[in-house]
Structure 1
Amino acid sequence: MTDMDIAAPLAAALAAKGYESLTPVQSAVLAPETQGRDLLVSAQTGSGKTVAFGIAMAQELLEGADRLLFADVPMALIIAPTRELALQVARELDWLYAETGAIIATCVGGMDYRTEKRSLDRGAHIVVGTPGRLRDHIERKSLDLSGLRVAVLDEADEMLDLGFREDLEFILQAAPDTRRTLMFSATVPKAIAELAKDFQNDALRLQTAGEAKQHVDIEYRALNVSARDREHAIFNLLRFYEARTAIVFCKTRVNVNHLLARMGNRGFQVVALSGELSQQERTHALQSLRDGRAKVCIATDVAARGIDLPGLDLVIHADLPSNSETLLHRSGRTGRAGSKGVSALIVPPAEFRKAQRLLQGAKVVAEWAKAPSADEVRAKDDMRILEHPALLAPAGDDAAMAQTLLDNFGPEQAAAAFIRLWREGRSAPEELHDAVAGAAPAPRERAEFGESVWYTLSVGRSGRAEARWLLPKICDAGGITKNEIGAIRVQEDVTYVQIGKSVAGKFGGGMDIESGVTMLRMEGEPSLDRPERSPAAPRAPRAAAPRPLRDDDAPRKEYAPRSAREDAAPCPVRADKPAYVPKAPRVVEDDAAPRKVWTPDDATAPAEAPHRPAPRREDAAPRPYAKREDAAPRKPYAKREDSAARPYVKREDGPAKPYAKRADAGAKPYAPREDGAKKPYVKRDDAAKPYAPREDADRKPRAKQGEKPAPKSAGFKSHGGGEGKPGKAAGFKSHASEGKTFGKPAFGKAKPAAAPKDAKDTSKRFVPPRKPKA
């Protein structure tokens, strides 16, 4: 397959972008043997891997067509390790698949989840995201991979380093097994090869020619600077190269923030990029670099993968990376797509060996040199002024104003003003200390001190004297520097100091350098050799006869304790105590007699004899309980024959008879006794008389049943009522007078119809029935 066999919409997009030919990795993925197979591709950073897998998966997406139809589920999935790389891949695929009508959705951490979900619900052909956010969408059922045709793992080695293996397995398990899996990585270590076996089926390994020689378009420079000139060397590097865009890599976020503040104070247009920033802040920082509003980016290794910035010509390693792979990925931000770039390593003396190991592991050769000095930066500025495009362009419409400036201020003044305006806003170069380039810092060898005079100090180790404590005191006392002081030898009680002969006159014959510390001049040199010790007399060997060995042929006696031997003599313990004689075993009497157990509280216990347990009997097995012979026999319990339960009846004339059920078991109905004093209640035939008040009461008679009750008074004195006067309504709708309701009907409703005559009268009070008279 040739380059012209690319799908027509993609070929048009490449031509519009200015592609004249494909890169080696892009041509490799279009080879005939790669069609439909899983690929494991390794290529250096900046070789066009994004466009490579974009054109490689076009066959599965387009299937010979020029336009894509609506897709309810994604057909392609690209997984990237970082947010910035995922968004960059989405931008690249956007212009590459613009003619096909492909809809591309992104799922990255730090962005609004609901916005991403709506994009997926509307339908997307290609989804680009980071492992963590993609797994969230799958678990929440907002991302369906059942129709996935192609899966791409970009920068697979970085995803393993960041610990995304479990997430990758979860994502790919949700996709069908018939998918095509493409893995792209700058390096293919053993872990990536094992990952390919798990995720791919019979993958084809593609290795581009550029991988054998890393970054041929990048110039590596190792700058050996002193530890205190590390930041100054970074400032001079930025001023020396004046790159359109530069990136400075630091190891930690703290170093990023510190360097950001220092460079901002010096007038650099700088932004930061680290993990502590939100996704919106990181996106704004990268956009500032693309728009030209910022020229320097200070970043941690989070930006080392896949970031493609226009005009990025300089990469500075302020802190050396941890391994060679990180060095390659950092440096790969420059020298992309055939452009040239510089990767500079700031190497203090303490990290010289580490820098050599990193370069050797990355298989690159660096040029060791000094950091640009202030004079070199100024010379570079002068050359840029002379080559400034404004000086080479014709005067044009500004000729009259230029002549006016020359007439008013003169050529020298106008030229000086132009130089000052050009340098305005640029940081002044820094003066650096000399450092040896390309060589390890050798230990300082002390040269011969020359002619000198020795002095004695009246303090030594017993007075807690130390060389670092005495050196500044001697310098202050004589007004000399430490270079004019030779050896300082601290002894037990005194200290010897070597002073240059040229400045020895400042001390004279002696002086007090501090209260209680006197410095006296010596004649000659002190004897600092330790006295030799006399050899110690050899120690005489101990006269110890060797222990005779037992004849092996003689039979050995069996071991027996001393008390069991016939010839055993009592073993004396102390002279004032008798020898130990074992006591006879205690004779146990009749077992029937009770035994008395000795306790310390027993007054009868012997005070001088310790308690000893009784010897164990031969028949040690426990005996069963046996009853004493003299005990009276006890009758066994026998159940009585008439043991049936009987009801309790208290009778005085003998035991109660057992209960027996009557033959006529049916219960008789209750009938009142004829001689009973109380008769059953019988309702009277004549109705109860109505209640009539007594003659001496002024209560009104109760209305008969069926008659309409008289209107009630409100019960309040202020409403009237009583003494035959009609009562006022209390203002409540429930109070009526003369059959009318007071007030207007509620909500304008009409008066309810009167109840029928046969309806039950609910206005009467409840009257309990009268009790019959006795």
Structure 2
Amino acid sequence: MPFSSLPRPVAEAITERGYTAPTPVQAAVITEEAIGRDLLVSAQTGSGKTVAYGLAIADTLLGGSDTLPRAGEPLALVIAPTRELALQVQRELQWLYAKLGARVASCVGGMNVRVEQRNLSYGCHIVVGTPGRLKDHLERGNLQPGSLRAVVLDEADEMLDLGFREDLEEILDLTPPERRTLLFSATMPKPIALLAKRYQRDALRIQTTSERESHADIDYRAMAVAPADIQNAVVNVLRFHEAKGAMVFCATRENVRRLSATLTERGFSAVTLSGELSQNERNHALQALRDRRARVCIATDVAARGIDLPGLELVIHAELPINPETLQHRSGRTGRAGKKGTCVLIAPYQRRRHAERLLRAANVNATWESVPSPDAIYARDQERLVASLEVGEIAEEDLIVARKLLETTSAEDIAAAFVRTQRQSLPAPEDLIDASPAAPGQRPEREQGPRPGFEDTVWFRMNVGRNANADPRWLLPLLCRRGHITKRDIGAIRILPGETRFEVPRGIAAKFADAVRRTAGEDDGVIIEPAGDGPPPAERPRLSRAPGDRPQGDRPQGERRGPPRGPHRGPPRRRPS
């Protein structure tokens, strides 16, 4: 029996639950070396840490006996960063200790304080809670820490990130000094090491996976896009993968609301998680994901901490995480417990270098690729449709309808109608701005003659040029937004030192000029005005240049002028008058 070293009731419960063998972290905490000692454990998110520390404290709770004492003051305290994680831990420990008759109480923010107070007064063996609520019950005298034999800090790094250091220190200072202290964390930054040094005695350090192995179940991909195309990129990534469950991360509540509105409008079944939601709203959103009534969750970092959603196959970083630890925590929502997952990092063009540094710091090898195109998405749809067709047992009434259809319609038309019906239920993919820079060492070929539709054009000028880091990657979205046109309506772009000139077809020039006049109040500091019918004059060679340097002439759209001088900061801001 793989769990033979555990107390018999606990071993029976975990075997009945379907565990055939312990995970690496579970096996490490029940070894003879770990029994009775403080533990400092770092393991991959989703590796079974909750059951692991439940197994680790079993002997401590029993105290050498075969049964638990009568419920009174708690024997163990588990501290978790979020309500969802604390309630999830409570459910796990309830079935793990069910055969011992353990009472597990929860104390979390957003729940009824009086109910929690009553449960504590009835007596319990284990208390699971969030730092703020536990501190409140300690100060009110509802929670008596004098009998605690073990304290567990779950996701300790997240609690420090959320600013709970003072609450944790106050709680730990009130617990008996002879208690066991178990710290479990996905990452082990310096603040965790300092906390362990202060509150643990001769702790056993357990690290079940290396940094490389911790990402083995996650396929990392990165995509560079124009800033105006981030939402469209999210749409296409979701459509390409069609995951049973997906989570999209944003940096702020406002961006969560904006992206949620975009995805819902396009036909995705999506829910949101942000700090402004009530506990009841959060529970409904999570239940919708578990029931498959919703397939996409848009969340902020804080709101998604500690959430375990089974079957989550895809994580999208719609906005770059602030540090490597946040990247790991976000990505750890997928690829859990040995299951495979995909993580997609979407980076604006000007922040690609920052994204690469972030991935290196997290020791993640990501494949840089283009955002899936509509053609690639339709091809993947076709593959999924063919693979999903299963002709099983067919009822007689269905055969009757099928024969009648074949009498009036060909089999090919019936199949085409079926395919059309299937596609109608899927959101349409988006066309993205194709403003990606040329590959290193290559220069885009100049077009021979004008593009179709640009035989008769009008030139316009902008008051930003090469000296202001003008670049088609942000100029194109700006022109489309200000002029109420699409990228197909913009012809050649000539970026000069002090200005940029571009052409539009004469047929829409008046409409474009009127739109840029009406949007001139936008706070982007960019002035757009007509520049005449002819192309801009060729730029004169610079007088002071190093020997061997060639003059800088007109450049076609998208051509780069050598290595970039640094990340682009966007269009110049208008100075206050």
**TM-score, normalized by the shorter chain, greater than 0.5:** yes
Q: 1:427 to 1:98 in 2, by over 3 A?
A: same
1:65-110 CA-to-partner distances (Å, cap 9, x unmatched) read 5543431111111001111211121122122222222111111111
Counterpart of 1:214 in structure 2 is 214
Counterpart of 1:162 in structure 2 is 162
Counterpart of 1:753 in structure 2 is none
Q: 1:402 to 1:159 in 2, by over 3 A?
A: same
User: 2 CA distance for matches of 1:32 and 1:231?
Assistant: 52
Structure 1: which amino acid aligns with 2:252? T
Structure 1: which amino acid aligns with 2:194? E
Gaps of 5+ in 1: 451-465, 473-479, 491-496, 501-516, 531-774
Counterpart of 1:345 in structure 2 is 345
1:272-314 CA-to-partner distances (Å, cap 9, x unmatched) read 0011111121121111111111110000002443321111000
User: 1 CA distance for matches of 2:115 and 2:80?
Assistant: 20
Match of 1:468 among 455, 462, 476: 462
Structure 2: which amino acid aligns with 1:7? P
Counterpart of 1:554 in structure 2 is none
Counterpart of 1:736 in structure 2 is none
Corresponding residue SS for 1:310: coil
Do residues 395 (structure 1) and 361 (structure 2) align?
no
Larger Rg: 1
Counterpart of 1:133 in structure 2 is 133
Structure 1: which amino acid aligns with 2:186? A
User: 2 CA distance for matches of 1:324 and 1:419?
Assistant: 43
User: 1 CA distance for matches of 2:542 and 2:65?
Assistant: 96
Counterpart of 2:551 in structure 1 is none
Q: Say whether the 8 Å CA contact 1:236–1:374 is kept in structure 2.
A: yes
**How far did residue 249 of structure 1 move?**
0.3
**How far did residue 141 of structure 1 move?**
1.0
User: 2 CA distance for matches of 1:336 and 1:486?
Assistant: 49
Corresponding residue SS for 1:163: coil
Counterpart of 1:259 in structure 2 is 259
User: 1 CA distance for matches of 2:166 and 2:342?
Assistant: 37
Corresponding residue SS for 1:255: helix
Counterpart of 1:93 in structure 2 is 93
Do residues 33 (structure 1) and 27 (structure 2) align?
no
User: 2 CA distance for matches of 1:199 and 1:470?
Assistant: 58
User: 1 CA distance for matches of 2:77 and 2:502?
Assistant: 78
1:612-636 CA-to-partner distances (Å, cap 9, x unmatched) read xxxxxxxxxxxxxxxxxxxxxxxxx
Deviates more, 1:134-143 or 1:222-231: 222-231
Counterpart of 2:240 in structure 1 is 240
Q: Say whether the 8 Å CA contact 1:86–1:108 is kept in structure 2.
A: yes
Q: 1:529 to 1:37 in 2, by over 3 A?
A: closer
User: 2 CA distance for matches of 1:498 and 1:272?
Assistant: 43
Corresponding residue SS for 1:78: strand
Do residues 78 (structure 1) and 78 (structure 2) align?
yes
User: 1 CA distance for matches of 2:26 and 2:219?
Assistant: 25
Do residues 309 (structure 1) and 309 (structure 2) align?
yes
User: 2 CA distance for matches of 1:49 and 1:94?
Assistant: 15
Counterpart of 1:420 in structure 2 is 420
Flag as ranges the 4+ runs of structure 1 deviating above 6 A. 437-440, 442-450, 469-472, 484-490, 497-500, 517-521, 524-530
Q: Say whether the 8 Å CA contact 2:438–2:444 is kept in structure 1.
A: no
**How far did residue 409 of structure 1 move?**
4.0
**How far did residue 498 of structure 1 move?**
12
Matches within 5 A, 1:515-664: none
Counterpart of 2:190 in structure 1 is 190
Corresponding residue SS for 1:15: helix
Structure 1: which amino acid aligns with 2:110? G
Counterpart of 1:61 in structure 2 is 61
Q: 1:169 to 1:486 in 2, by over 3 A?
A: closer
Counterpart of 2:279 in structure 1 is 279
Corresponding residue SS for 1:5: coil
Counterpart of 1:430 in structure 2 is 430
Corresponding residue SS for 1:158: helix
User: 2 CA distance for matches of 1:70 and 1:437?
Assistant: 70
Corresponding residue SS for 2:206: strand
**How far did residue 319 of structure 1 move?**
0.2
1:579-620 CA-to-partner distances (Å, cap 9, x unmatched) read xxxxxxxxxxxxxxxxxxxxxxxxxxxxxxxxxxxxxxxxxx
Q: Say whether the 8 Å CA contact 1:150–1:179 is kept in structure 2.
A: yes
**How far did residue 168 of structure 1 move?**
1.0
Matches within 5 A, 1:96-115: 96-115=96-115
Do residues 47 (structure 1) and 41 (structure 2) align?
no
Q: 1:226 to 1:529 in 2, by over 3 A?
A: closer
Structure 1: which amino acid aligns with 2:384? R
Corresponding residue SS for 1:128: strand
**How far did residue 337 of structure 1 move?**
0.6
1:422-453 CA-to-partner distances (Å, cap 9, x unmatched) read 2233201112233659978x999998999xxx
Q: Say whether the 8 Å CA contact 2:78–2:153 is kept in structure 1.
A: yes
Corresponding residue SS for 2:61: helix
Q: Which protein is richer in helix relative to its size?
A: 2
Q: Say whether the 8 Å CA contact 2:74–2:124 is kept in structure 1.
A: yes
Deviates more, 1:69-78 or 1:371-380: 69-78
User: 2 CA distance for matches of 1:168 and 1:520?
Assistant: 70
Structure 2: which amino acid aligns with 1:468? M
Q: Say whether the 8 Å CA contact 1:149–1:178 is kept in structure 2.
A: yes
**How far did residue 207 of structure 1 move?**
1.4
Q: 1:489 to 1:125 in 2, by over 3 A?
A: closer
User: 1 CA distance for matches of 2:288 and 2:421?
Assistant: 24
Q: 1:246 to 1:488 in 2, by over 3 A?
A: closer
Q: 1:446 to 1:142 in 2, by over 3 A?
A: same
Matches within 5 A, 1:689-708: none
Counterpart of 2:270 in structure 1 is 270
Counterpart of 1:617 in structure 2 is none
**How far did residue 416 of structure 1 move?**
3.0
**How far did residue 230 of structure 1 move?**
1.2
**How far did residue 229 of structure 1 move?**
1.9
Q: Say whether the 8 Å CA contact 2:325–2:362 is kept in structure 1.
A: yes
Q: 1:83 to 1:439 in 2, by over 3 A?
A: farther
User: 2 CA distance for matches of 1:433 and 1:526?
Assistant: 28
Q: Say whether the 8 Å CA contact 1:240–1:380 is kept in structure 2.
A: yes
Q: 1:67 to 1:287 in 2, by over 3 A?
A: farther
Q: Say whether the 8 Å CA contact 2:273–2:304 is kept in structure 1.
A: no
User: 2 CA distance for matches of 1:241 and 1:285?
Assistant: 22
Corresponding residue SS for 2:77: strand
User: 1 CA distance for matches of 2:130 and 2:346?
Assistant: 33
Counterpart of 1:23 in structure 2 is 23
Q: 1:2 to 1:433 in 2, by over 3 A?
A: same
Q: Say whether the 8 Å CA contact 2:212–2:364 is kept in structure 1.
A: no
**How far did residue 205 of structure 1 move?**
1.1
User: 1 CA distance for matches of 2:300 and 2:438?
Assistant: 27
Matches within 5 A, 1:665-676: none
Q: 1:173 to 1:404 in 2, by over 3 A?
A: same
Corresponding residue SS for 2:372: coil
Q: 1:469 to 1:344 in 2, by over 3 A?
A: closer
Structure 2: which amino acid aligns with 1:176? P
Counterpart of 1:460 in structure 2 is none
Corresponding residue SS for 1:302: coil
User: 2 CA distance for matches of 1:16 and 1:405?
Assistant: 52
Structure 2: which amino acid aligns with 1:433? I
**How far did residue 367 of structure 1 move?**
0.6
Equivalent pairs, count = 483
Q: Say whether the 8 Å CA contact 1:77–1:152 is kept in structure 2.
A: yes
Corresponding residue SS for 1:34: coil
User: 1 CA distance for matches of 2:502 and 2:115?
Assistant: 80
Q: Say whether the 8 Å CA contact 2:494–2:502 is kept in structure 1.
A: yes
Do residues 379 (structure 1) and 373 (structure 2) align?
no
User: 2 CA distance for matches of 1:277 and 1:360?
Assistant: 35
Gaps of 5+ in 2: 450-459, 466-478, 480-488, 504-529, 544-577
Do residues 328 (structure 1) and 332 (structure 2) align?
no
Identity of aligned residues (%): 54
Q: Say whether the 8 Å CA contact 1:253–1:300 is kept in structure 2.
A: yes
Structure 1: which amino acid aligns with 2:3? D
**How far did residue 208 of structure 1 move?**
1.3
User: 2 CA distance for matches of 1:252 and 1:116?
Assistant: 32
